[in-house]
Amino acid sequence: MANHVKLAKGNADRPARKRATSYDVAELAGVSQSAVSRVFQAGASASKDMRDRVLSAANKLGYRPNAIARGLITQRSNMVAVVISRQTNLYYPEVLVQLTQRFSEHGIRVLLFTLEHERDIDGVIEQVLQYQVDGVITAAILNDAQLDTVENAGIPVIFYNRTLPERLVNSVRCDQEEGERWLVSQLAAAGHKRFAIVSGPDDSSVSMERTQGALQKLRELSIADVLIVSGDYGYASGRAAFSEIMQRMGGVPDAVIAANDVMAIGCVDEARETNYLRVPEDVSIVGFDGVGPARYAAYDLSTVRQPVGRMSEAAVSMLIERIESPGLSPEKRVFSGDRIIGGSALLADSNS
């Protein structure tokens, strides 16, 4: 009871008590400010005696080094910016978690910037630069001018699942094209002839790569007549896309290649619920990503899974290397996706 009253008062009239600084600690411990600073650094020289006195004083005052002030003098904020679109985080929440955790193991914090759409980057660049981050990981494309701006500020950039083919940049990505080519070849080898593709949003370079990869392989196999309808990566758009396919093809396609798993799931549902089709007997459907729901028994998608763990690890280590050695030459790392054979499509290897 007494305790409760105390808390109430404490909260009400304690107006953000001033935080202790290294000078306060120095004074209480009877040493200089530099001494305090040294105690809170890794390889600094300090006698056992001083260390003890300083730490005890710091403890008494609740002192913590001010990372902002430290960043100002050392020219290292120990923060990196992660730029990600809402889309990307919705479909791969894992990416953000992994990046943050891995950076945190290296004493680096993540300043997060989310974009409603990938093209909303403009203002974000300014923000990123103002905050003096040590590096940037972006899952959104920058144009030449934007990239110049960041590079001129001496900040290393890693592109995540994006790349600028015309330019020397660092990037980590999953080989979308290779994955699609595999899916197509498997579908074709299983005897499918009439194909439809459900693409993603126009401003998604990932969707472009996937669609192009699939189309190209289809062309190589002399399957020219392919219907492409577009979606927005969402479930509803997958259902709408399948329905549009049925209508525009005037019948059931042999195989539908969706630009991501969620739309593939939408296609499966629309095929079954609205059109009373069996999957995969009447129509084969494949996706991309290997997200959680792709493995749900009701769908069991054939898909290609992005190796998110290895990709995020690569991105983090590449960025840290470049923060520590600014001169390092650019590198592009491309990971193959994991090929997943599920029950949503008849593939050549289905019985293997």
Partner DNA sequence: CTCCGGTTTGCATGCGAATGCAATACTGCC
Partner DNA sequence: GGCAGTATTGCATTCGCATGCAAACCGGAG
CB 305 within 8 A of CB 290: yes
56 interacts with a copy of itself by CB under 8 A: no
Q: Which is nearer to DNA, 66 or 247 (CB)?
A: 66
Contacting a copy of itself within 149-168 (CB under 8 A): 149, 151-155, 167-168
Contacting a copy of itself (CB under 8 A), which of 2, 42, 68, 224?
Answer: 68
- Answer for which of 52, 56, 59, 69 binds DNA (CB under 7 A) is 69
**Closer Cβ to a copy of itself, 87 or 211, answer by number:** 87
Q: Which CB, 46 or 221, lies closer to DNA?
A: 46
Among 1, 13, 62, 74, binds DNA (CB under 7 A): 74
CB of residue 73 to DNA, shortest distance in Å: 4
Going 218 to 222 to 223 to 228, the CA torsion angle's sign is: positive
333 phi, psi to nearest 5 deg: -115, 130
> According to the binding rule CB under 7 A, does residue 78 interact with DNA?
no
The SS3 of residue 44 is: coil
Q: Which residue has the tokens 């910016």?
A: 81
- At 337, list the tokens: 């996706």
3-state secondary structure of 19: coil
SS3 assignment, position 345? coil
Of 31-39, 139-147, 237-245, 304-312, which part binds DNA (CB under 7 A)?
Answer: 31-39
Q: Is 7 in the site for a copy of itself (CB under 8 A)?
A: yes
17 binds, among DNA, a copy of itself, none (CB under 5 to 8 A by kind): a copy of itself
- Report if residue 38 touches a copy of itself, rule: CB under 8 A: no
The answer to whether residue 19 forms part of the interface with DNA (CB under 7 A) is yes
14 lies in the site for a copy of itself, by CB under 8 A: yes
> DSSP strand E in the chain: where?
79-85, 109-115, 135-138, 157-160, 170-174, 195-199, 227-230, 255-258, 284-286, 303-305, 332-335, 338-340
Does 47 engage in binding with DNA (CB under 7 A)?
A: yes
- Separation of alpha carbons 293 and 228, rounded Å: 24
Q: Which of residues 180-239 bind a copy of itself (CB under 8 A)?
A: 235
330 binds DNA (CB under 7 A): no
For position 107 contacting DNA by CB under 7 A, the verdict is no
Whole-number Cα distances in Å, 172 to 123, 157, 259: 24, 11, 20
Question: Which DSSP category does 254 fall into?
Answer: S
Residue for token pair 């904020």: 77
55 binds DNA (CB under 7 A): no
Evaluate whether 157 touches 138 at the Cβ level (below 8 Å): yes
Q: Which residues, other chains included, contact 296 with Cβ-Cβ below 8 Å and sequence gap of 6+?
A: none
- Residue 72, interface with DNA (CB under 7 A)? yes
Residue 149 binds which of a copy of itself, DNA, none (CB < 5-8 A, kind-dependent): a copy of itself
From the centroid of its chain, how far is CA 19?
36
Distance of CA 25 to the CA centre of its chain: 42
Stretch that binds DNA, among 60-68, 156-164, 187-195, 251-259 (CB under 7 A): 60-68
- Based on the shown chain and the rule CB under 8 A, indicate whether residue 21 belongs to the binding site for a copy of itself: no
What are the two backbone dihedrals, phi and then psi, of residue 82, each rounded to the nearest 5 degrees? -115, 120
Regarding 70 and contact with DNA (CB under 7 A), the answer is yes
Tokens representing residue 282 in the block: 């009447």
- Residue of 52, 122, 126, 349 that binds a copy of itself (CB under 8 A): 126
Judged by the rule CB under 7 A, the positions of this chain that interact with DNA are: 18-19, 21-23, 30-35, 37-38, 40-41, 45-47, 49-50, 63-66, 69-70, 72-75
